[in-house]
Amino acid sequence: MQGFFQLISTADFLGLLERFQPLAAEQLPLVRGLGRVLAGDITVPEPLPPFARATMDGFAVRARDTFGCSDSEPALLTIAGEIAMGSPASELALQPGQTAAIWTGGALPVLADSVVMVEFTHRLDDLTVEIQRPVAPGDNVIRRGEDYELGAVVLRRGHKLRPQDLGVLAGIGITRATVHRRPRVAIISTGDELVPPDQKPAPGKIRDINSTTLAALVEECGGEPLALGITSDSVEELTKGCRRALALPADVVLLSGGSSVGRRDFTLEVFKRLEQTEVLAHGVSIRPGKPTILARRENVAFFGLPGHVGSAIVVFHLLVRPLLSRLAGTTAIPGLRRIIAVASEQIPSVIGREDYVRVALHQGNIHRRIIATPVYGKSGLLNPLVRSDGLLVIHRDTEGLDQGEEAEVLLFP
Amino acid sequence: MQGFFQLISTADFLGLLERFQPLAAEQLPLVRGLGRVLAGDITVPEPLPPFARATMDGFAVRARDTFGCSDSEPALLTIAGEIAMGSPASELALQPGQTAAIWTGGALPVLADSVVMVEFTHRLDDLTVEIQRPVAPGDNVIRRGEDYELGAVVLRRGHKLRPQDLGVLAGIGITRATVHRRPRVAIISTGDELVPPDQKPAPGKIRDINSTTLAALVEECGGEPLALGITSDSVEELTKGCRRALALPADVVLLSGGSSVGRRDFTLEVFKRLEQTEVLAHGVSIRPGKPTILARRENVAFFGLPGHVGSAIVVFHLLVRPLLSRLAGTTAIPGLRRIIAVASEQIPSVIGREDYVRVALHQGNIHRRIIATPVYGKSGLLNPLVRSDGLLVIHRDTEGLDQGEEAEVLLFP
């Protein structure tokens, strides 16, 4: 029986992903930009704010007119007008001893340099206001360009756009963004025993779980899933499926179902048959996920994933997700959010292999620490998937964790 | 000048949200179910797996035929066949002394009760295999229904569907899910000074930032944003805008721009003018976000949000997001992910008010603790938004944090 191969570490595997380059750029309206990654720096086309603005409701003044005033000796200023929201600053120029009522966000009148908060004023009549506190020039005002000077870099290439970033872009008048294309990910399940989820399986058959799961994982991390369905256990059929994926064109092809030794060999055979395709890795020293295969044809990545969905999910989070982040152009550290938790019981492992143990999390009473309880179950079961919150990491250099020992947990999104 | 109001705590505000009920249910194909919330329990329509399956590659056996065997004294079994993937179990029945080659996932032959891993076997010829380790009944096998018994509850009402959940549903043949409708959220920016982002503002005008930001925030937490654009500072116009939102129909209406005292009053005036509409809250003891208003018309919520986008974002995360979760039907604790970080410097606050301070995070050298550095900036500035990773919480009962003190940080998604 064949099937031996050279295991590599996850670090080495992630190193191989650097051979793939970020996808081409495309222009998008801002309203479709959430979660997309900038393909270039964005600089400010005009100073922001474009004019000096009040940051408080109150009275715009020339600061020197308020110097020395107090509750008992207020400065008396003449109300020259009220700054209507949205009216230009040039409509009013303050002479010495004059002031103007202003609202938060209003444009400062010409020659005004500060705003006295309404709380420290007392309006005597339509034309006169008492100022009870002095202000310094610039108080309660944002000057022109104080937020962003002309030409300042707002966001850099590789930044993933969040709601607040989109808001700032709208504010500087950038309504289209140049972002990397989303990775298109073809998904093929292989197995003579598989039927689509909407069919009742004949005796000995089961429903295809991986296509649905992988498509949702791809969607969740911002890729575009292209489900190509089920192929039978045949090198010819699977090769045809891969060619179909290339023609879409797909940027990544996920094959799953080749976890048994025989099938693993034939996934490898398929990758070897495809023209200009190089097998980069065949076996990773993790559990679950050991039989993972990675191949490359120009900038297209082929993954051979384990057949069991629980293992395929682990490999997706650890090895596929970082590639999708790279293709999408993000410069942030990819991967799941990590927290430190405490093992609820002893968790054995083996030196030389990274273990990813499904765990359920809860917050304990002592120091509000997060407790990680292993969700064991035979490798073919689905119910542990539903009951777990993340993957506890046991590193290569340890035989496992003691009860109460700290370890990193990768949180399912 | 008017505008005083009764401040309530965030806890009291969140209590008011319980007056709103989860939205109606709708049926969806599974492929559109990611992130949606179940409107009812899901039970298993048939046992899973539907037949006993191998969890390893190897040989299916009757366990008693292997009892007492070892490397030196292997059991010799007759190979009665090979279980092709997807072939029914009934095609082969093992007689005493017989075995069958099987792959992971294969259906166990009739009368077989366990699988010997291929590593512990040695094939002598086409018809004979040496078994070098004994197995007990059930070893390396998942029995029928072991994953889910008929009628077992897989997922409960209120559960938000993750990729692994969708996979399990596919596995049990459930290809449509009954989920709560997504909240439809109408967004209206008010202000005579506002122009749409794609227009060059005339002197004294600025671009509308809030519509873009709030729409992306709604999208990010699974709602459907309906941007209704800009209305002028007029009670009539804004009332018209609210009626338009009701006609859509929207489940939530977000008005922003009413942060100055004058405008706040007129947002309130609008809510009072709408028929059957009750103002539930007018002022929350948080900073930023104090002037927030909540009103209710049957199951439709109206929020009056602060005009400055930085404050509107805080109020969205703290007070709007929990309502959207509630309308979407989730039973999970709503809100942003929280971590504990350490203050990089003293951060002052005021007793009786919750402060949410924008912070940037980095991991320090000592004990790999997360350090939170305040990103200060005048309240009108945008650039602190882009530079911050989350909101540090200073509770009501404290005057602030000392340098090095621990505090909760709500992470921006």
Could you give the domains of chain B? 10-24+182-328 (3.40.980.10), 29-45+154-180 (3.90.105.10), 53-142 (2.170.190.11), 338-411 (2.40.340.10)
Mean predicted confidence (pLDDT) in B278-286: 93
Residue B101 has a pLDDT of: 94
The least confident of A331-340, B1-10, B297-306 is: B1-10
Query: How many Cβ atoms are within 10 Å of B141's Cβ, its own excluded?
Result: 23
pLDDT of residue A3: 47
Q: What is the mean predicted confidence (pLDDT) over A141-157?
A: 91
Average pLDDT of every residue of chain B? 90
pLDDT value at residue A2:
42
Q: Report, as an integer, the average pLDDT of B11-22.
A: 95
Distance from C-alpha of B295 to C-alpha of B301, rounded to nearest angstrom: 6
- A348-403 residue pLDDT tens: 998 888 899 999 988 777 766 789 999 987 766 778 888 888 999 999 888 899 99
Question: B1 pLDDT band (50/70/90 cuts)?
Answer: very low
Cα-Cα-Cα-Cα torsion A66, A70, A72, A75, nearest 10 degrees, comes to 10
* B260/A382 touch (CB, cutoff 8 Å), yes or no: no
Distance between B54 CA and the closest CA of chain A, angstroms: 8
Residue B20 is given by DSSP the state: S
- Is the Cβ pair B175, A197 closer than 8 Å? yes
Among A21-30, B14-23, B257-266, B369-378, the least confident range: B257-266
Interface of B with A in 275-334 (CB under 8 A): 307-309, 313
B408 vs A184, higher pLDDT: A184
Rounded CA-CA distance B250/B261 in Å is 27
Residue pair A329/A178 in contact (Cβ under 8 Å)? The answer is: no
pLDDT at res. B6: 81
Give the pLDDT band (50/70/90) at residue A173.
Answer: very high
Q: Is the pLDDT of residue B3 over 50?
A: no
Residues B355-380 have a mean pLDDT of: 83
Q: What is the pLDDT of residues B43-102, one digit of tens each?
A: 999 888 889 999 889 999 999 999 999 999 999 999 999 988 888 877 789 999 999 999
Looking up tokens 């090198």 gives A235
Q: Is A5 on the interface with B (CB under 8 A)?
A: no
Burial A345-361 (b: 16+ CB within 10 A, else e): eebebeeebbbbbbbeb
Q: Does the distance separating the beta carbons of A203 and B84 come in below 8 Å?
A: no
Check if B86 contacts A (Cβ < 8 Å).
yes
Residue of B212, B263, B311, B376 to mutate for A, most A C-beta atoms under 10 A: B212
Q: Are strands B121-123 and B128-131 parallel, antiparallel or unpaired?
A: antiparallel
Task: State the amino acid at position A160 in one-letter form.
Answer: K
**Per-residue pLDDT for A255 more than 70?**
yes
Contact status of B48 with chain A (Cβ, < 8 Å): yes
Q: Over pLDDT 90: what percentage of chain A?
A: 68
The Cα–Cα gap between A355 and A394 comes to 5
Confidence check: pLDDT of B143 > 50: yes
What is the value of pTM for the model shown? 0.88
Say what the pLDDT of residue A260 is.
Answer: 55
Query: Is B94 touching A (CB cutoff 8 A)?
Result: no
Instruction: Name the pLDDT band for A5 (thresholds 50, 70, 90).
Output: low
Q: Is the pLDDT of residue A335 over 70?
A: no
User: Are residues B380 and A142, on separate chains, in Cβ contact within 8 Å?
Assistant: yes
Indicate the average pLDDT of chain A: 90
| Closest Cβ opposite residue A203 in set B89, B167, B379 | B89
Confidence of residue B233 (pLDDT cuts 50, 70, 90): confident
Which residues is B252 bridged to in the sheet?
A: B185, B301
Assess whether pLDDT exceeds 70 at residue B333. Answer: no
- Do B223 and B334 contact (CB within 8 A), yes or no? no
B3 contacts chain A (CB < 8 A):
no
Q: Which of A124-138, B187-201, B255-269, B342-356 has the lowest mean pLDDT?
A: B255-269
SS (H, E, C) chain A: CCCCCCCECHHHHHHHHHHCCCCCEEEEEHHHCCCCEECCCEECCCCECCCCEECCCEEEECHHHHCCCCCCCCEEEEEEEECCCCCCHHHCECCCCEEEEECCCCECCECCCEEEEHHHEEEEECCEEEECCCCCCCCCEECCCCCECCCCEEECCCCECCHHHHHHHHHCCCCEEEEECCCEEEEEEECCCEECCCCCCCCCCEECCHHHHHHHHHHHCCCEEEEEEEECCCHHHHHHHHHHHHHCCCCEEEEECCCCHHHHHHHHHHHHHCCCCEEEEECECEECCCCCEEEEECCEEEEEECCCHHHHHHHHHHHHHHHHHHHCCCCCCCCCCEEEEEECCCEECCCCCEEEEEEEEEECCHHHCEEEEECCCCCCCCHHHHHCCEEEEECCCCCEECCCCEEEEEECC
Find the CB nearest A163 among B202, B213, B337. B213
Residues 226-255, chain A, touching B (beta carbon < 8 A):
227, 233
pLDDT tier at A33, thresholds 50, 70, 90: very high
Q: What is the pLDDT averaged over residues B154-177? A: 93
The predicted-structure confidence for A55-84, as pLDDT tens digits, reads as follows 889 999 999 999 999 999 999 999 999 988
Q: Do A210 and B175 touch (CB under 8 A)?
A: no
pLDDT at B350: 87
Tokens of A164: 């607040």
Q: Do A162 and B309 touch (CB under 8 A)?
A: no
Residue in chain A closest to B233 (alpha carbons) equals A85
| Mean local confidence (pLDDT), A309-336 | 88
For the segment A157-178, the average pLDDT, to the nearest whole number, is: 93
Nearest CB among A50, A191, A213 relative to B166 is that of: A213
Distance CA(A60)–CA(A57), nearest Å, equals: 9
DSSP line for B96-163: TTEEEEE-TTPBPPBT--EEEEGGGEEE-SSSEEEE-S---TTTTEE-TTSSB-TT-EEE-TTPBPPH
Q: Which of A268-277, B298-307, B372-381 has the lowest mean pLDDT?
A: B372-381
Q: Do A53 and B167 touch (CB under 8 A)?
A: no
Chain B, nearest residue to A227 by Cα: B31
CB contact (8 A) between residue B104 and residue A380: yes
Q: Is the pLDDT of residue B258 over 60?
A: no
Chain B, 169 to 198: residues with Cβ < 8 Å from chain A are: 169-175, 191-194, 197-198
Q: Which residues of A touch B35 (CB under 8 A)?
A: 220
* Interchain CB distance below 8 Å, A165 and B386: yes
Q: Check residue A105 and give its pLDDT.
A: 84
| pLDDT > 90? residue A88 | no
What pLDDT, on the 0 to 100 scale, is given for residue B301? 98
Of A49, A57, A141, A116, the residue nearest B291 (C-alpha): A57
Q: What is the rounded average pLDDT of the residues A93-106? A: 92
Distances (CA, A) of A102 to A242, B256, B262: 66, 19, 11
Q: Is the peptide bond before B45 cis (omega within 30 degrees of 0)?
A: no
- Write down the pLDDT at residue A367: 67
Whether residues B382 and A198 touch (CB distance < 8 A) is answered with: no
Work out the percent of chain B whose per-residue pLDDT is above 70. 95
> How many contacts does A have with B, using Cβ atoms within 8 A?
275
- Quote the pLDDT of residue A1: 34
What does the angle CA B335 – CA B343 – CA B398 come to, to the nearest 5 degrees? 75
pLDDT value, residue B100: 96
Cross-strand bridge partners of residue A117: A58
